[in-house]
Amino acid sequence: MHITDITFHRGAGLLRLCTDGAQEGWAAGATAAAAEAIDAVYRPLLLGGTPWERERLWQRLRQAGRAAGLPPSTWGLVDIALWDLLGKAQGLPVYRVIGGFRDRVPAYLRGTPGVGMEAAAHEALAARDAGFWGYGFAAAGRSHADLRQLRQAVGGEFRLLCDGAGLDLEGALALGRGLEEIDAHWFAEPLRDDDLTGLQQLADALDLPVVAGAFAGASLQLATRALSTRAVDRLRATLPTAGGITDVLKLARGAEALGLNCEIDWDRQGSPHAAAQLLAAVRNAEFFAADPADRPGHPALLPLALAGGELHLPAAPGLGVQLADPTSAV
């Protein structure tokens, strides 16, 4: 099986690796601009390649992408499609190709961005009652009184996960104290992306786990160093922003060797399928980040199955990405 072409399904946002066989490798969440850059830079490296040399191709893609000044999401999308193709070639879901740790993953509900505290409390309560393991909310503009209101709404056992404040160190420390007061589960990406020193000071000052990964960009070495020096309590890797399945798998294995978690997330502009497969393959990540039912994802793609607050992994070979209208793929 050899790769013969790279195409883009604009209607579904699918990057497609075509082969001389019956299978294709798909990666959802691609934009027209990303597909154009991928075609221009990576096509010569991919044509004639096979899914059995995925690691070698990843190394070449990453090197070429960095030399061309492309973001990690570009080689990440190609890498995701290569894993999809490899799984299909073996007749197995990707998580079983990697090794397979579980076939269902606890999920928390990602709150609607920008909602007020009353609406957030309503969402969190609905998430708890639907069986989700937690509720994620944005920290921007939240006072300590707001946090206490949210905790009071859902009770003491339900997990509350705070995300993405982008604060300075003083503001993050003050908010972190409020999050500790309500026994929040974690504080993710609290500072500006480049403030690694501030992250280390924050992690040292708070008992609450500080989770971050945006500071690392495409640097596996920087992320690993941050873990080994305990600059963060847990690493977070977002697909495809941080790269592909290979990038994130390397980070997760490195974190596991240090006895730490690597929380795996997915970009709202992308597809959850790659994150779901990785979460099912590694032990040291807690939750799948699920969007509310009124934001079901790309309408051209079938959503992943959620039941009782858990993500159920697709049994289909590859990533399990399926078009709502299969005839639109041809």
**What is the pLDDT averaged over residues 54-75?**
96
Contact 17, 81 (CB under 8 A): yes
The yes-or-no verdict on residue 279 having pLDDT over 80 is yes
List phi, psi (to 5°) of 65.
-65, -45
Q: Express each pLDDT in 81-130 by its tens digit.
A: 999 999 999 999 999 999 999 999 999 999 988 888 889 999 999 999 99
pTM of the model: 0.94
Contact 120, 142 (CB under 8 A): no
Distances (CA, A) of 89 to 8, 18, 86, 116: 21, 13, 5, 48
Angular region, 200: left φ>0, alpha ψ -120 to 50, beta rest: alpha
Question: ∠ at Cα 158 (156, 159), nearest 5°?
Answer: 115
Of 81, 85, 43, nearest in space to 65 by CA? 43
Q: Pairing state of beta strands 14-19 and 3-9?
A: antiparallel
Q: Express each pLDDT in 215-266 by its tens digit.
A: 777 678 888 888 888 889 999 999 999 999 999 999 999 999 999 999 999 9
Q: Express each pLDDT in 126-174 by its tens digit.
A: 999 999 999 999 887 788 999 999 999 999 899 999 997 778 899 999 9
pLDDT band, residue 283 (cuts 50/70/90): very high
The yes-or-no verdict on residue 268 having pLDDT over 90 is no
Q: What domains are defined for the chain? A: 3-92 (3.30.390.10), 96-312 (3.20.20.120)
The Cα 265–Cα 287 span in angstroms is 9
Cβ-proximal residues to 230 (8 Å cutoff; 6+ apart), any chain:
200, 203, 204
The Cα 245–Cα 164 span in angstroms is 23
pLDDT band, residue 329 (cuts 50/70/90): low
**What is the pLDDT averaged over residues 36-48?**
97
- Residue found under tokens 């190709």: 97
pLDDT of 50 reads 95
pLDDT band, residue 196 (cuts 50/70/90): confident
Cβ-proximal residues to 277 (8 Å cutoff; 6+ apart), any chain:
83, 93, 94, 95, 98, 245, 313, 319, 320
The yes-or-no verdict on residue 306 having pLDDT over 70 is yes
pLDDT of 269 reads 66
Q: Computed over its alpha carbons, how large is the radius of gyration of the chain?
A: 20
